Structure 1
Amino acid sequence: MASLLGNGWYGYSSGSEGEDEDEGTEGYRKGGYYAARPGDRFAGGRYVAQRKLGWGNFSIVWLAYDTLQSRFVALKIQKSARDYAHAALHEIKLLSAVAKGDPMNSKCVVKLLDQFKHAGPNGQHVCLVTEFLGDSLLRLIRELGIIHTDLKPENVLLVSTINPAKDPVRSGFTPILDLSVGNQYGRTVISFSEKMLRMRARRAVAKISQRRVSLGGVLAEVEKERSLDGISLKCKIVDFGSACWADQQLSGEIQTRQYRAPEVIIGSGYSYSADLWSFACMAFELATGDLLFAPKNCQRCSEDEIASSGTHSKDYFDRYGDLKRIKRLKFWPLDRVLVERYNFTEPDAQGFADFLRPILDFTPENRPSAAQCLKHPWFN
């Protein structure tokens, strides 16, 4: 996984996308995480840690209370090693540019509120303070000549939480201001709460699995109908740790594999349209519940076997432009996939497929811009 696991989280989606349930203890050493506790104060006492929101390979994010502005914020505490500090400073530059270009905070990008350094037993940590956001979902707006390079559902958060009890304002949560109160509970309570939430999630998954029944040889899944009433669907893009300026692109591979554009895979250069490719993958995932591309290994091919041209093309294609190791591809039109596998109606499938196909064009220059996407009839 790319940027998100390399950086941090701003909302309630905690943990990594892999099987690890928490950050473990290995990262708490010289050059690593800062071992924050409820009640810990930062920036001369202005920000008071409340509870951990999530973690990534680069940082830990805490819910904090801003005593100066009397509001809850997200506090991202970067690991202290030099490379991690440089990554945080890079993200600060990009988010500062976004904030400068959006003084009214009207765009769908997380707002940087403050930044500072905090010294601890494991070194000096760069800290970012952003607005507090909710659960991850999807909405895309690109601005200011920045290429995000790691768009995926986990990096797009709802402005508010789905569960009101998880929102410190709506739930009437009383902020911890006394360090002794925070230490009274400490990590034991936090760890216990997280484990309880995970246990509930496992039970929920188990219940859904038990509801699967066989009807005439066809597996049907009976799920409880969910309502979005009262839930704001306004979203913001977060985690600009691996983002770059369009004219100052970073070296190395970008994007999480499942959302990685063809031009990135073969090394032929990328631009804004790489973010749009990721957006299309997310849109399909939200509509169906499945990944559009779920790479799998085979005996004679890699997960990155795909068509186009670039510095790595010879690894995948022969001199005629044919795939070297994949000889027989089974094509299934997108609209037919939506109808036959996901039970879309014909009109819905056709409209959605018409919207996605241009964005998934193998030629980056042929893809529509974000502004053009918004004008597509499917949005109406």
Structure 2
Amino acid sequence: MGKKDSKHGSWRDDDDPKSDADRKTGSFKQRSLCSSTEDSPDDNSSLQLESALLGETANDDEVKTSHEGKSREEDEEGHLDYHIGLVMKARYEVVFTLGAGSFAKVVECIDRDKEEHVAVKILRSTECFREVAKSEIAVLEEINSLDDDNTFACVRMLDWFDHEGHICIVFELLGLSTFEFLRQNEFLPFNVEQIRHMAFQIFRAVYFLHRNKLTHTDLKPENILFVCSDYDLQHNDKTKCDERTLKSLDVKVVDFGTATFDHEHHESLVSTRHYRAPEVILDLGWNQSCDVWSLGCVLMEFYLGCTIFPTHDSKEHLAMMEKILGPIPPHLLKQTRKQHYVHDERLNWDERSSSHDYVRKHLKPLKKYMNRKSEEEVQLLDLLGCMLEYDVYRRITLEEALWHPFFSPLRTQKQRS
């Protein structure tokens, strides 16, 4: 799955923070790396779920755990070699495969105890991935505890268990990811009203994390899922094609496998490439504001129907930022440990290269992406400009963003109800 770009190919086949930056240890307090390359392939530790969220529950009673040698139910890469009809923990019956990646597989199961469908994320059995799973479980337990009435749009963990050495995490079953819905809808962008409703829920969810000293670190359209992705099909006379219109815009944030508490060690590399903040690329250190940058990129993708930074290369990524947002402030370039990106206090960018030609031809200043100069679109682009601010000390916080005029209609609506 992935969008094709004439120059960059499938831009989604790029690095992911799980590749090296966000593996956690079993103590839940520090991290250990599963690999060591800076820009390794996107292995989607939470998976790019094309058709549902993660999830499942279970008991440990009837689970055999094998830590020594390869399980008879395991393939060469350490994935569980399951089959439709497999029952885990004498409770969860596998009925469908939802997604697969190098980190884990996600299956839809029937919970025989409750007679309801759930999603179960089955981690690879290697010790490294077991530790990642334990860390994610710790974060999800904390979220469940802090949000016991399910007020904020974070996915609910229902249970977890060990099956043949594979940690399995049970989640509520959700719908398509926002990326997958875009893909199935021919990458037709969401309208401003849809973006407003989704963004308000997402911002509240991530602000809830920030308020509780937690940074998600991997916000992207694949990790924002619709609670229900049922839709109506309507013919658009202008585009002369059928368009899918969602019946509900309720969404939830998923994938807490790389979430980091403020007191924990912060790895230098986080976030999937296209949503990675400049301070991460420049190795300046990062905090919760990197989530704000990522969400700015996500909202632009909702608005355009495609990523705003289609690149695989860090220097080109910075050049794209400059084309859209203006020059990177000299004080940031002066502080970076990546001095090979800098020449004479400016980005060291070859303007004679083919990459420069691509950037020049295909990208433009942020405000010029506005489709119509309606008040609501002016407000949206203003909000995005505040989120896509180079300097973390000037970047808007999510608490401030929720009070931006763009969300005034929703606040007024809430006061009336």
If the length of structure 1 is used for normalisation, what is the TM-score?
0.72
Aligned-pair identity (%): 29
Among candidates 112, 124, 128, match of residue 169 of structure 2: 128
- 1:42 to 2:92 alignment: no
**Which residue does the alignment assign to 1:151?**
219
Structure 1 unmatched runs, 5+ = 15-26, 165-207, 212-219
Among candidates 334, 357, 360, match of residue 366 of structure 2: 334
Q: How does 1:257-336 map to 2 (within 5 A)?
A: 257-295=273-311, 302-305=316-319, 307=328, 308-309=332-333, 310-318=335-343, 320-326=344-350, 332-336=364-368
Deviations along 1:347-380, whole A, 9 cap, x unmatched?
3442221111111110012122212111111123
One-letter amino acid of the counterpart of residue 122, structure 2: I
Deviations along 1:112-148, whole A, 9 cap, x unmatched?
11111111xxxx1011011111111264221222111
- Alignment CA distance shift 1:296-1:73 (3 Å): closer
One-letter amino acid of the counterpart of residue 235, structure 1: V
Aligned-residue offset at 1:335: 2.0
**Which residue does the alignment assign to 1:378?**
406
One-letter amino acid of the counterpart of residue 152, structure 1: K
One-letter amino acid of the counterpart of residue 378, structure 1: F
- 1:366 to 2:394 alignment: yes
Among candidates 242, 258, 264, match of residue 224 of structure 1: 242
- Alignment CA distance shift 1:345-1:224 (3 Å): farther
The answer (yes or no) to whether the contact 2:123–2:168 under 8 Å persists in 1 is yes
Q: Distance in 1 between matches of 2:265 and 2:221?
A: 23
Aligned-residue offset at 1:303: 4.2
Deviations along 1:15-71, whole A, 9 cap, x unmatched?
xxxxxxxxxxxx95355110111211112x011111111112110001011112222
One-letter amino acid of the counterpart of residue 309, structure 2: F
SS at match of 1:83: helix
Q: Distance in 2 between matches of 1:344 and 1:222?
A: 21
SS at match of 2:393: helix
Q: Distance in 1 between matches of 2:170 and 2:261?
A: 22
- Alignment CA distance shift 1:258-1:90 (3 Å): same
Aligned-residue offset at 1:345: 3.1
SS at match of 2:98: strand
The answer (yes or no) to whether the contact 2:268–2:280 under 8 Å persists in 1 is no
Q: Distance in 2 between matches of 1:131 and 1:11?
A: 14
The answer (yes or no) to whether the contact 1:10–1:53 under 8 Å persists in 2 is no
**Which residue does the alignment assign to 1:198?**
none
Among candidates 150, 156, 173, match of residue 105 of structure 1: 150
The answer (yes or no) to whether the contact 2:49–2:222 under 8 Å persists in 1 is no
- Alignment CA distance shift 1:82-1:364 (3 Å): same
SS at match of 2:242: coil
Q: Distance in 1 between matches of 2:159 and 2:312?
A: 42
- 1:161 to 2:229 alignment: yes
Pairwise CA RMSD:
2.9
Deviations along 1:317-359, whole A, 9 cap, x unmatched?
13x4211224589684322222xxxx32343442221111111
Q: Distance in 2 between matches of 1:264 and 1:10?
A: 22
The answer (yes or no) to whether the contact 1:150–1:275 under 8 Å persists in 2 is yes
Aligned-residue offset at 1:90: 1.0
Q: Distance in 1 between matches of 2:106 and 2:395?
A: 35
Q: Distance in 1 between matches of 2:176 and 2:297?
A: 19
The answer (yes or no) to whether the contact 1:263–1:270 under 8 Å persists in 2 is yes
Structure 2 unmatched runs, 5+ = 1-14, 19-41, 53-72, 179-197, 322-327, 410-417
The answer (yes or no) to whether the contact 2:231–2:245 under 8 Å persists in 1 is no
Deviations along 1:267-303, whole A, 9 cap, x unmatched?
11111110110101110110111212122669xx554
Q: Distance in 2 between matches of 1:62 and 1:108?
A: 22
SS at match of 1:127: strand
Q: Distance in 2 between matches of 1:91 and 1:250?
A: 16
Among candidates 101, 104, 122, match of residue 77 of structure 1: 122
**Which residue does the alignment assign to 1:357?**
385
Among candidates 51, 60, 77, match of residue 13 of structure 1: 51
The answer (yes or no) to whether the contact 1:266–1:313 under 8 Å persists in 2 is yes
